[in-house]
Amino acid sequence: MATCPPYPTRAHRHTHWWQRPWVRYGALITLLALSGLVILALVREQTGTRGFLVGLGLAVLPVPLLIAAFRWLDRVDPGPWRNLLFCFAWGACAAALIAIVANSFATRWIATATADPAGADTLGATVIAPVVEESAKAAAVLLVFLFRRRDFTGIVDGVVVAGVTATGFAFTENILYLGTAFGTDQLTGDRGIASVTAATFFVRVVMSPFAHPLFTVLTGIGFGAAALSAGRHRLRRALLPPAGLLLAMGMHALWNGSAAFGQYGFFAVYAAFMVPSFGLLTWLVIWTRQRELGTVRAELPAYVAAGWLTPAEPYALGSMRARRIARQYARRHAGKEGARAVARYEACATSVAFLRRRARRGRVGADFTVRERALLEALWHLRDVARPALEHAARATAPPPPPRPVPPWAYPYGGTQGAYGPLTAPVPYAPHPLHTPYAPYAPYGPHAPYGPHAPYGHAPQNPHAPHGRAPQGPYGPPGPHRP
């Protein structure tokens, strides 16, 4: 019988110099660096040096919080940091540069064609800007979806990639707006809470730091849903990303146009659309994350049966609290290296679970065996540090055993009523040894299940009793001291 090799073989092909990884990485880094230098020069030209520094100092405040929030969402199956660095750099440099140049050109062209600068600004903010900005940010999500497909497996990955991209874009945009507001205050002499800088900071950093991430997350959900679609649903995979992009553009246009709805239009849109949308998307992402933990608990027992994992590990790896306890245990007993080893073990085990789920649904390539074997070998090398920590975490987070039902005969007077009132606790009942039904000469035959010789031996038999049973005395079966 022919057997297929454990590792797929492929014919050697000559790769051109532009197809080599270091060439692609170098070109991408060069593109982002040039975009960063150009956007830096443009923003500094519009805000001035002092305005740029003030805007930079204020705009950087929400960035760590947003990045930490998206990393928290991605804790079940964390993606590599290089993907997040690329997304943030794309949003802060390339997408911001595209948006500034395209928006300025479109607004000037509309103003020249219509001879209405005010109308051109309104049209540019409500129509041109959402289309250009969301398309520029969606380009990063598309690149990760196409070239880092292994790291883009579901809705949570799409949310994280899109959210980090939008965080970088909002960072550069906030520098521009805050720096311009500071320059205006320098001209008018306003200071403190009444200044334009304070108002801009309150609106963009305090009230709506999640605005741009919320818009682009809709695009990420579209790509994530496409990643979850089976191979036969080609039309669905093709339509979901554009649908998410259109939703992002629509919400962005509604947000930008809120200023045209009157004095309280901004607060009305904020309360009626932004806050509910943010809450709904947060619930969706957390629910999806819980489903991913359920996938880990459901898929890993197969590797327990194969001997790669211990029985306690699927439960511990399927709980974020148990994972955290395992890392803390490893840090106390093996230092930082031990905690890192446990974190790598958790990541590899989660990747194995997701890979197995995709294999069952027929969405893996020919390299499934190679990837699975590599992940299992990584688990095997880290088992000495990770297994004790995970077993400790499983014991620490295990649910308490259910209370054992109290049999009726545990109460000496029947029910729950004692001689002097209701019983607060069951009274232990110990029957006399001669009356226990599981004595060595019990009337249930020679194979007494709870006797001293059960279940691996036989109770002694009475040769004079019929069918091997001992005769019954007036107070129960006779003991060994009776004749």
The DSSP code sequence of 325-342 is: HHHHHHHHHHHHHHHHHH
193 falls in which pLDDT band (50, 70, 90)? Answer: confident
Predicted pLDDT of residue 53: 93
Query: Above 70 in pLDDT, residue 2?
Result: no
Across 199-213, average pLDDT: 90
Predicted pLDDT of residue 459: 40
Query: Above 60 in pLDDT, residue 7?
Result: no
Query: Above 70 in pLDDT, residue 291?
Result: yes
Query: Above 80 in pLDDT, residue 408?
Result: no
Query: Above 90 in pLDDT, residue 58?
Result: yes
360 falls in which pLDDT band (50, 70, 90)? Answer: confident
Predicted pLDDT of residue 381: 92
Contact 210, 278 (CB under 8 A): yes
Query: Above 80 in pLDDT, residue 225?
Result: yes
Which letter does DSSP use for residue 404 in this model? P
Name the percent of the chain lying above pLDDT 90: 38
> Dihedral (C-alpha) 213, 216, 222, 223: value to the nearest 10 degrees?
-90
> Dihedral (C-alpha) 228, 233, 237, 243: value to the nearest 10 degrees?
-110
How many angstroms separate the CA atoms of 311 and 314, rounded? 7
Predicted pLDDT of residue 457: 40
Predicted pLDDT of residue 317: 92
Contact 373, 364 (CB under 8 A): no
| 302 alpha carbon, distance to own chain's centre | 22
- Tell me the CA distances in angstroms from 75 to 69, 162, 212, 351, 472, one per residue in order: 10, 16, 22, 12, 68
Predicted pLDDT of residue 133: 94
Predicted pLDDT of residue 475: 41
**pLDDT digit string, tens, across residues 249-275:** 999 999 988 877 766 778 888 888 888
Q: Which position has the higher pLDDT, 416 or 334?
A: 334
The listed range with the strongest mean pLDDT (139-153, 358-372, 402-416) is: 139-153
231 falls in which pLDDT band (50, 70, 90)? Answer: low
Contact 56, 171 (CB under 8 A): no
How many angstroms separate the CA atoms of 476 and 465, rounded? 15
Q: Which two tokens stand for residue 274?
A: 């932004």
Nearest by Cα to 333 from 345, 325, 344, 321: 325
Across 76-90, average pLDDT: 90
Contact 374, 302 (CB under 8 A): no
Q: What is the pTM of this model?
A: 0.75
Contact 221, 159 (CB under 8 A): yes
Q: Which two tokens stand for residue 402?
A: 């259910």
Across 458-468, average pLDDT: 43
365 falls in which pLDDT band (50, 70, 90)? Answer: confident
Query: Above 50 in pLDDT, residue 11?
Result: no
Residue 418: how many other CB atoms lie within 10 Å = 14
Predicted pLDDT of residue 269: 87
Place of tokens 């955290």: 324
Predicted pLDDT of residue 75: 84
How many angstroms separate the CA atoms of 324 and 331, rounded? 11
Alpha helices in 126-231 (DSSP H): 129-147, 155-188, 196-201, 211-228
Query: Above 90 in pLDDT, residue 241?
Result: yes
- Among 162-166, 230-234, 256-260, 337-341, the range scoring the smallest mean pLDDT is 230-234
Across 128-140, average pLDDT: 94
Tell me if residue 173 falls in helix, strand or coil.
Answer: helix
Across 426-443, average pLDDT: 42
**pLDDT digit string, tens, across residues 176-191:** 999 999 988 888 877 8
**pLDDT digit string, tens, across residues 146-175:** 888 888 888 999 999 999 999 999 999 999
- HEC string of 244-285 equals HHHHHHHHHHHHHHHHHHCCCHHHHHHHHHHHHHHHHHHHHH
Residue type, 440: P
Predicted pLDDT of residue 411: 54
Q: Which two tokens stand for residue 318?
A: 């399927």
- List all residues 6 or more positions away from 185 whose beta carbon is below 8 Å from its beta carbon: 191, 195, 196, 197
6 falls in which pLDDT band (50, 70, 90)? Answer: very low
Q: Which position has the higher pLDDT, 456 or 215?
A: 215
